[in-house]
Amino acid sequence: MRTPLSWLAGRYALGAGSVRVAALGSVVASIAIIVTGGIVRVTGSGLGCTDWPMCTGETLAPTAEMGVHGAIEFGNRLLTGALCAVVGWVIITARLQEKPMPAVLRGGWAQFWIVVLNAVVGGVTVWMRLSPYIVAAHFLAATLLLTAAVYTWHAAYADGDDHADGDSGAGADRAGAPGPLARIRSLAGALVVVTALLVVVGTLATGSGPHAGDSSDVPRMPFDWTAVTVAHGVLAGAVLVLAGVLFSALPEDGFGAARRKTGVFLAVLLGQGLVGLVQSLTALPSLLVMLHLLGSALVWTGVLQVYFTVRRACSRPRGPLGDAPLPRARGAVTHA
């Protein structure tokens, strides 16, 4: 059955650059939705709109009497529409490529359905009057959206540059990766897992601390805030060590992009750790809370970039000793 997209694909074609720009736009939009969600929380605007999907029981938009809190909450809801437009553009540009980009298309549709999921969780957050558990789930759903966006961004280069390499790295596993490559892949996988734990424990620190919902009327999670914060810091230290070990294990030949991205990730992680330490010692000022939220999104984006880049480098055909990739065909494009 022909669809409007298949009809368009039969008449128009876009270059790979268009889908890469669209995919990058979805990453930026996903980070923005995390940051603006934080603005809603630290300004105490979570119930600026008292209902969902309507702002009130009678109106879609906030009324003048609802003040700035209603405007902030409604503005965050409007960003969901903008995000849908960006994700829709990713899907359209991926579908209109001369060479198929199945991974990008899958990533685009995954983002669409995660946006729908996040909107529903946002509605439940309002209905549950800012329960810290649902607030945490809302943040994690936004982080899941960022995950799909970064995957799509990476796939836009992987699909466009070298379809033979693929984006899963499964070929290297089937062939039996040499020892050093297996260790590198394991380190990259462990780095993602521990960073994910760091993010989850961060939501527990928020939910049990003084900023969960920004209202004394909202019950906190029944955890000791100091203990959870210490655990969060220990996990941050573990991520730092793992990233350092991975950086040392990555060879120059064939892993230059992975080394650069791991170095950037280390720098972002150190900055995020500094912000987290200062905010914990200074009674959690709102500006630092916002910076820490932004840092969380950047850290997660960075670790995914490291992981996907390492997997792609490991999956490329190698020489007989498995120490360096075979030369690419003349005219092939590489993505750093």
Q: Write out pLDDT tens, residues 184-198.
A: 999 999 999 999 999
Domain ranges of the chain: 14-164, 168-325
CATH of domain 14-164: 1.20.120
Q: Name, in order, each residue with C-beta under 8 angstroms of 239's C-beta and a sequence gap of 6 or more.
A: 191, 194, 195, 198, 269, 303
Q: Residue 325 phi/psi, 5° resolution?
A: -70, 150
Q: Which of 5, 212, 32 is nearest to 115 (CA)?
A: 32
How much of the chain is helix, strand and coil, in % rounded to 5? 70, 0, 30
Which is nearest to 38 in space by CA: 236, 291, 301? 291
Q: Are 127 and 120 a contacting pair, CB within 8 Å?
A: no
| pLDDT tens digits, 19-46 | 999 999 999 999 999 999 888 888 888 7
Q: Which two tokens stand for residue 29?
A: 């939009």
The whole-chain average pLDDT of the chain stands at 84
The pTM assigned to this predicted structure is 0.85
Q: How many Cα atoms sit within 13 Å of 131 on the Cβ side?
A: 10
